[in-house]
Amino acid sequence: QVVSWVHTGIPNIREWGNEAAQCALAWRFTGKAEYLAKTRAMIKANVKGYNEAYENRRAINWYAQTRINTLAAYDWIYEALTPTERRELIVPLLEILNKFLDKKGRPRIRRLNDDALTPGSYGEPTIDIYAGLAAYGDGDADALAEKLLKSGHATYQRLLAPFWDGKGGERCLGSATPGYSLGSVPHCFFNFLHAWLAATGENLAERLPGYMNMPAWTWWLWIPDPDKPSLPFFPGCGDDQHVENRLRTGGLAVHLRQYIHFYRELDPKGARLAATLLGLCPKSDPAAFGWPAIPFLLAADEPVEPYPVEELANASELARHFGNFGHVFMRSGWRPDSTYALFPAGSDGRDCHKQYDEGSFVIYKHDFLA
């Protein structure tokens, strides 16, 4: 009998990864001992919770961010800890995370996200490289940290394989469903770029030209609504809920800022397009999406000059093909009264969350006509 654990109503455990990262940052900015003590207490509580979850065959959280933030919190308070305090935190933390990552040795765990190499790459396997980075060289768990670094590096090598030098083309990150590719998925990509830059000094975006084409794809999805400028329509692709076909822009501003941060020199036109769309999006706080360090990593960025909206509305390019999704967009302009069409066909196998889109078509003018 096939049993699905997706809709069993089993909740995530209560843990403190995001809050631990917030407290660790607060300690770095203020030096107040109370924030340091809170961070240590939360990491210890998390380790206890992770072990109990494992014993009860329960996943910790569908998203990786809570464990990544726990590791970041340890890294950010490292200088304030004695060698004994470091061992007490990092060794059991790495050991329990390694248990969850051990596919061969672990029991079956309900609602565990093993989604490593598909578009929803925010699951359990994306944690190991951060665990290795946080612990390697401490002298407390170097062997395990090295193992996790190597497995994490291999995971991201496979994840990024279609997008290395010369392979970017008209590709986009992740899923043909905007709720994913403009939702949680870019965090996985940008967090890795930040970590790689911090660890090696290299902006890996230079070796991933045009990776995502996120601003361009977003622009082609965007059907302006004069009544709700920050909540446009989009041509209902993938398995987003098709009640109104509204493009979810709540967290999009963060991703556009990240794109500008890494690609402003590599892709000046894409960065300017991102800046234009950024001006149309509702402003969003990255910390509200579980990543409290992001505002500080982007805080020193100089603004990029956006394209005037009128210039884009009169753009001469009236069709665009994004090969890996098989998306062919066509439109008469970029105004509320323009005609918009999408024909999805011929993706390169990236069909996750694409559902039954192949060979369909959408036509929009003032409303969805077909």
- pLDDT tens per residue across span 270-301: 999 999 999 999 887 766 678 999 989 998 99
Mean pLDDT of the chain: 88
Is residue 279 classed exposed, middle or buried when 0-12, 13-18 and 19+ CB atoms within 10 A define those classes? Answer: middle
Could you give the 3-state DSSP secondary structure of residue 89?
A: helix
- pLDDT for residue 9: 59
- pLDDT for residue 4: 45
Whether residue 172 contacts residue 350, with contact meaning beta carbons closer than 8 Å, is answered with no
- pLDDT tens per residue across span 313-352: 998 999 999 887 889 999 999 999 999 999 998 876 666 6
Q: Spell out a b/e string for 134-161, using b for 16 or more CB atoms within 10 Å of the CB, else e.
A: bbbebebbeebbebbbebbeebbeebbe
Distance between CA atoms of residues 370 and 323, nearest Å: 23
Residue 354 confidence class, pLDDT cut points 50, 70, 90: confident
> Shortest CA distance to 339 belongs to which of 328, 347, 330?
330
- pLDDT for residue 162: 72
Q: Can you give the pTM of this predicted structure?
A: 0.91
C-alpha 142 chain-centroid distance: 28
- pLDDT for residue 168: 54
Strands 362-364 and 319-322: unpaired
- pLDDT tens per residue across span 158-194: 888 777 765 555 666 777 888 888 888 888 889 999 9
- pLDDT tens per residue across span 44-81: 999 999 999 999 999 999 889 999 999 999 999 999 99
- pLDDT for residue 3: 42
- Output the DSSP codes for 217-238: HHHHH-B--TTSTTS-B----T
- Output the DSSP codes for 139-182: SSSHHHHHHHHHHHHHHHHHHHGGGSTT--TT--SS-SSHHHHT
The arithmetic mean of pLDDT across residues 129-136, rounded, is 95
The arithmetic mean of pLDDT across residues 246-257, rounded, is 91
The arithmetic mean of pLDDT across residues 207-211, rounded, is 78
The arithmetic mean of pLDDT across residues 227-256, rounded, is 90
Could you give the count of Cα atoms lying within 13 Å of 15 in the half-sphere of its Cβ? 29
- pLDDT for residue 338: 96
What type of residue is 188? C
The arithmetic mean of pLDDT across residues 204-214, rounded, is 82
- pLDDT for residue 356: 77
Residue 1 confidence class, pLDDT cut points 50, 70, 90: very low
| Helices 65-76 + 33-55 axis angle, to 10 | 140
Whether residue 265 contacts residue 278, with contact meaning beta carbons closer than 8 Å, is answered with no
Strands 319-322 and 340-344: unpaired
